[in-house]
Structure 1
Amino acid sequence: MTPSTADHAQMSVEEFEQLARTAPETVTLEFINGRLEVKPAPDGDHDEIIMWVAVQCVHHRPDLRLYRERGLRVEEYRNGRARPDGTLARARRFAGDGEWSSSDGVLMTVEVTSYGYDTDRRDRTEKRDTYAAADIPVHLLIDRDNDTLVVHSEPEKGRYRQQTTYGYGDTVTLPAPVDVTLDTEELKDYAR
């Protein structure tokens, strides 16, 4: 697991939530490993990729929904706060919840890399480990720098035991409990 700064957090979870509530709509904040993170605004290709995942999942599993930037309580003792690009769960899973929901019942998180300076640390490492520590069964990383999809599964002790990498154009089978097969040919349209 990524070294935690929870013992030396920049602020308390309560202070973070107050800050997140008052942040302008143009800024999305997360609290990962005791640090305040500013999530980059998505570009058009990023949005299209998330919609592509949503359409594919709902086509195969109409009982599911891909929620965009759903606030989740994550990390040990639920002290972290993350907003995955996509959160796959059964329809109505978050009905009645406030801004931050428990990760219970989340089947998969989806992150699409941004072209920021901290993408490697944030998208490829910290958030993956955060979702594993929250026991989210599947994490899908769509890595636009490498034109790949990385499927992480079988969380155990804060790590995903399985990791499989596919190229754009490959057929990708997402394991249980998601049980969806993705046709990734369209992703080639968003490659740089």
Structure 2
Amino acid sequence: MTPSTADRPQMLVEEFEELARNAPELVRLEFINGKVVVKPVPDGNHGEIVAWLLKRCMQHRPELFLYPEQGLKVEAYRKGRAKPDGVLAPEEYFAGMGEWAEPAGVLMVVEVTSHDRDADRRDRIEKPDGYAAAGIPVYLLVDRDTDSVTVHCDPEDGVYRSLTTRAFGAVIELPDPVGFTLETQKLKDFAD
């Protein structure tokens, strides 16, 4: 059996962090399952979705903040690095933590798919595994390819035990510790 990339990473985490620090602003780098992943620069609709979610979170949970692109240490033994499109945590939670923060205390991560060939593997397979392994209670995927939202919750043994998917326009529950209902009708305006 051939070892996976996670077993034999492309580089050390410290080497990745140096690479990410020096990457041009035109790219966003992540280190998922032992390999460097280039995350596309978001388009306008992608940004509007993140802004819309930020506003919803502030309306329902004003003591929390949806931090755009906060770097997190993910995967078993903190050997991965991800920059979710949004990270829901208490206000000022990341003060003093640096670029790559521990995920303990994070309530939810959000990813909005980009229209690229790696979105399926990255956002639907690798990221949920990494976020679940890190113990993040809720992962919200806004999937622009399928015009749907998926809530992943109940992480156990590195996987989310519960997934709920609804089409744009439906109502979906963001379970505790997030604890509010998301009406997704507005997302239809940003489908492309």
TM-score interval (norm. to shorter): over 0.9
Report how far residue 114 of structure 1 moved. 0.6
Taking structure 2 as the reference length, the TM-score comes to 0.97
2:94 counterpart residue number: 94
Q: Which amino acid is the alignment partner of residue 183 of structure 2? A: D
Q: Aligned residue for 2:106?
A: 106
Superposition deviation, residue 173 in structure 1: 1.2
Deviation, structure 1 residue 7 = 2.3
| Counterpart code for 2:10 | Q
RMSD, matched Cα = 1.0
TM-score normalized by structure 1?
0.97
CA offset at residue 39 of structure 1? 0.7
**Per-residue CA distance 1:49-77 (angstroms, 9 max, x = gap):** 00111100110100010000100001101
- Counterpart amino acid of 1:144? R
In structure 1, distance between residues paired with 2:155 and 2:6: 21
Q: Quick one: distance in 2 between partners of 1:27 and 1:150? A: 26
> Is the counterpart of residue 25 in structure 1 residue 25 in structure 2?
yes
SS at match of 2:62: coil
Is it true that 1:135 corresponds to 2:135 in the alignment?
A: yes
1:161 corresponds to which letter in structure 2?
A: R
Q: Does residue 1:44 correspond to 2:37, yes or no?
A: no
**Cα distance in 1 between the residues matched to 2:79 and 2:4:** 11
CA separation in 1, counterparts of 2:6 and 2:112? Answer: 26
**How many percent identity over aligned positions?**
61
Stretches of 4+ aligned residues off by more than 4 angstroms: none
Distance 1:23 1:44 in 2: 22
**1:111 alignment partner AA:** E
**Residue 25 to residue 16, structure 1, CA distance change in 2 (3 Å):** same
Unaligned runs of 5+ in 2: none
How far, CA to CA, are the matches of 1:139 and 1:4 in structure 2?
24
CA distance in 1, matches of 2:143, 2:29: 21
> Which deviates more, 19-28 or 67-76?
19-28
SS in 2 for 1:6: coil
Matched residue of 1:8: which SS?
coil
Q: 1:82 & 1:91 partners in 2: Cα distance?
A: 20
